[in-house]
Structure formats: structure tokens, C-alpha cells
Amino acid sequence: MQTVLSNITEEKEFQISEHSTLNESVKLKETPESNLSPRERLLMDNVVHMGHWLTETERDASLTVDLADLESIKNAIMQMQGFIDQLKMRHLDLLRIMDESQSKVVRERSEVMAVECNKILNECQRRKVTLTKMLEEIRIWDRLRKSLTTWLTDVQEKVIDASKVDRADTETLKKELSEIQGIAEIAGEMKSRMDELNERSNALLDNYRADEGHNLSHTISKLNALWSKFNDNVRIRRAVLEAALRARNDFHSALEQLMEWMDGVEASLVKLNEATVNIQMLKDSIKRKKWIEDEKNVRVDINAHKDVIGSVKELGVQLTRRVEDHKEREDLRERLSHIDIRWRHLVGLADAIRTRLLNAQEEWEKLFTQLADNLFWAEAQSKAILEEQPVGGSLARVQEQTSFIEVLFHYRFSFHDSEVHMYTTFT
């Protein structure tokens, strides 16, 4: 029991001792502000509140802006100007407090706050200059970006919404190719502006690293992607149009060349036909041989163009199937039909001339063979007559010679009639 009471007594003494120690500590920690008069204390409170405001102002002034947002930059400039105006007023207030206060503590605290206020004021002024310069550069960048975006969007629609190659006629394809070439030429000029925009973007990102450049970087990346896509579409569309026109031009060019060749062959055949249709002219073996040689040359040329005719027809049929323009399709069909008719006419005329010349040559060869046979017979009989001389001898010999002469006369008249018939037929 005594032990418990002694413990309680010791605890109370400890509490009393601790309380007295705290009071002494509070007295020791009392600052000079606690001895200020009410007026000085009010001035000190103003200085303290001003310090809090300076801290908040410095924090707000250090906030970053989005480089791609013109409005946020404008607002930041106006906010910075507001901070500058307020800082100047607060600086004057601090100077006034230093003049009015009689307390060294208040004046020292005010002087510290004045230095801090002046430092933050300079920072705000520098930030405003930076933001103003940034605004001018961003305005130029934004105008350039908008002009390029508008142009790219317009020409991209023209390239994408162009008519299908198969459905367009030749004139439409030529017109679209001319437009694409014009766009490509303008794109060459726009490339320099695109390069300028990229340079300005890189400069903004490098010069204002402390501010937000993500949106600006994302915007310029999208524009570069649109630019690349546009160039690809222009190249593809140009290649498609050139290929389509080349195919049609190749066909029309081949068709024109084929028509010119047909004109030349037809002129040769007409001339040859007029010469060989006269039977009397065919008697001239020299001319006949020349005409036969000419006919062979023309026929070789015709045979050599059989594959060309087939290729042109096949190309024309394929092109006719692809072309959806009714007028152009009908025109192609009509030209192909005309080519086919002319080709059959040329082949038929060449065959007729060849048959005529071959028949004449065959008749001449028959006559020549018959004449050669008759000549051979005449020479043989002349030799036989000479061998029969002299006439005379026995009666049997005379009768034999008489029979030989009668047979000779019979064959002579027979050969003569045959020669007359063949010559009459040939002539």
C-alpha cells in the first residue's frame, strides 16, 4: 500500500515538473512578433499573407501551356500580365509597410518579401516575353498547317473520288491525267511548305521543351501521314491512268498502222488485179513471171500479218469488254468489224489473182510441153523418112514405104489439130 502511494506521489511530482518545464519552453520559444503592437502585428499579418500569395503566384506562373493550343497561350499571356500588375502593386505595398513600420522585425520580413516579389515579377515578365514570342511562332505555324491541311483534303478527295478507268472514255482519261499532272506540279510547290512546317515544328519543340509539345507533335505526325498517303495516291492514280491510256493508245496506234498497211497491200493487189485480168497480157511470159513474183511477195506479207491481225482483234475484244462507255464501245466494235471485212477482202482478192496466174502458167506449161513433144516427133519422123530413102526396090518394100507415109500423114494432121486447139485455148 505504501508502495502504491509512493508511486502515485512520484507520478504527481513528475507531472508538475513536466508542466513547469513546458511553460518554461514556451517562454523560451516566444518570438519577437509576440511583443508587437496591434498595428505592427497587422502589418506583419499582411506581410505573411503576401508571402503565401507570392508562393501561389510563383506556382501558377510556372504552369506549362499546350504548344498546339493558341487559346491556352493567349490566356496564359493575359494571366501573366495580371500577375505582373498584381506583383507591382504588392511590391509597392511592401515598400509602404517598410516605410510605415517601426518594428525591425516587420521591416526585415517586408524587405525579404520585397526581394522575393521582385524576383517573381522578373520571372513573370520573362515568361510573358517567352509566351508572346511563342504565340507569334505558333500563329505562323498554325496558318501554314491549316493551309496545307485544307489543300491536302481537297486534292485527296479529287484523287479518291475520280471516275473508274474502265467506265471512262479516252477523253475523260486524258482530262483526269492532265488534272493529276497539275496536282503533282502543285504538290512540288507544296513540298517546300511542308518542309517549312516540319522545320518550324521541330524548332518549336526544341525551343520550348518545358511546355507541352505532345499535341503539336501528334498533329504534325498526322499531317505527314496524310501527305505521304496523298503522294502515294497521286502516284498510283497517275500510273493507272497512264497505263489505261497507253493500252488504248497502243490499240489505236496498232489499228492505225494496220490500216496503213492494208491500204498499201490493197493498192498493190488492185494494180496486180488490173494487170492480170487481161488475158492477152498474160501471154507475155516475162510480165507473167514478174506478176507471179509480185503476187508471192504480197502473199508473204499477208501471211506475216496474220498474227498481227489476230493480236489486234484480241486486244480490241478485250478492250471492248472493259470499256463501259457505250459510244466508245460501239466505235471500237465498228472499227474491228471494218478491219475484219477489209482483211477478208484482201485475202480473197489475193487468192483470185493467184488462181488466175497459176492457171495461165499451167496452160502455158502444157502448151510448151506439147510443142516440145511435137518437135521431138517431127525430128524423129524426119530421121525415119531419111532412112526410108531411096524409094524403090521390091514390091513389098514399096508397099511398106507407102504404108509408112500414110501413117505419117495421119499423125501429122492429128498433131496439127492438137497444137491449134491448145494455142487457141491459151490465147
Residue with cell 509597392: 92
Express each pLDDT in 127-186 by its tens digit: 999 999 999 999 999 999 999 999 988 888 777 766 666 666 677 778 888 888 888 888
Identify which has the larger pLDDT, 243 or 6: 243
Residue 250 exposure: Cα atoms within 13 Å on the Cβ side: 14
- CA 243 from centroid of its chain's CA atoms: 11
252 and 383 share one domain? yes
In a domain, 234, yes or no: no
Q: Residue 397: what pLDDT?
A: 60
With respect to residue 30, please indicate whether it lies within any of the assigned structural domains.
no
Do 289 and 270 reside in the same domain of the chain? yes
DSSP conformational letter for 212: B
11 vs 50 pLDDT, higher one: 50
Phi then psi for residue 66, to 5 deg, are -85, 120
* Residue tagged 530421121 (cell numbers): 383
Among 266, 219, 250, 236, residue whose Cα is nearest residue 70: 219
The total of structural domains in the chain comes to 3
The parent domain of residue 409 ranges over 388-426
Rg (the chain; Cα; Å): 60
User: Which span out of 100-114, 191-205, 235-249, 405-419 was modeled with the highest average pLDDT?
Assistant: 191-205
> Would you state the pLDDT for residue 41?
87
* 52 and 102 fall within a common domain: yes
User: How far is residue 265 from each of residues 262, 268, 275, 296, 328, measured CA to CA in Å?
Assistant: 5, 5, 15, 12, 28
In a shared domain, residues 355 and 395: no
- Quote the pLDDT of residue 218: 94
DSSP string, 338-396: HHHHHHHHHHHHHHHHHHHHHHHHHHHHHHHHHHHHHHHHHHHHHHHHHHHPSP-SSHH
Q: In this structure, are 251 and 371 located in the same domain?
A: yes
Which grid coordinates are listed for 50?
503576401
Q: Which of 258, 250, 246 is nearest to 336 (CA)?
A: 258
Residue 171 located in a structural domain = no
Torsion on CA atoms 125, 129, 132, 133, rounded to nearest 10 = -170
Cα separation, 15 vs 10, in Å, equals 9
Residue 4 in domain: no
Do 126 and 41 belong together in one domain?
Answer: yes
Residues 256 and 364 in one domain: yes
Q: Is residue 230 part of a domain?
A: no
Spatial distance between the Cα atoms of 50 and 54, rounded to a whole number of angstroms: 6
Mean pLDDT of 388-396: 57
Grid cell 492505225 is found at 256
- Pair (354, 303) in one structural domain: yes
- Residue 258 inside a domain? The answer is yes
Residue 407 sits in the same domain as residue 382: no
What is the rounded average pLDDT of the residues 351-372?
74
User: Long-range contact list for 145-148, CB < 8 A, 24+ apart?
Assistant: 145/197, 145/219, 145/220, 145/223, 147/193, 148/190, 148/193, 148/194, 148/197, 148/223, 148/227
Region of poorest pLDDT, from 175-189, 283-297, 312-326: 312-326
- pLDDT: which is higher, 375 or 223: 223
Do 378 and 404 reside in the same domain of the chain? no
Cis amide bond preceding 38, omega within 30: no
C-alpha 301/C-alpha 6 separation (Å) is 144
Give the per-residue pLDDT at 421. 47
Residues 264 and 250 in one domain: yes
In a domain, 252, yes or no: yes
139, 161, 192 - which closes a domain: 139
Mean pLDDT of 344-355: 86
pLDDT in tens, 39-91: 888 888 888 998 899 999 889 888 899 999 999 999 999 999 999 999 999 89
Per the confidence metrics, is the pTM higher than 0.95? no
Q: What is the pLDDT of residues 362-386, one digit of tens each?
A: 776 666 566 666 666 666 666 666 5
Domain presence at residue 275: yes
- Which pLDDT value is given to residue 12? 40
**Shared-domain flag, residues 305 and 383:** yes
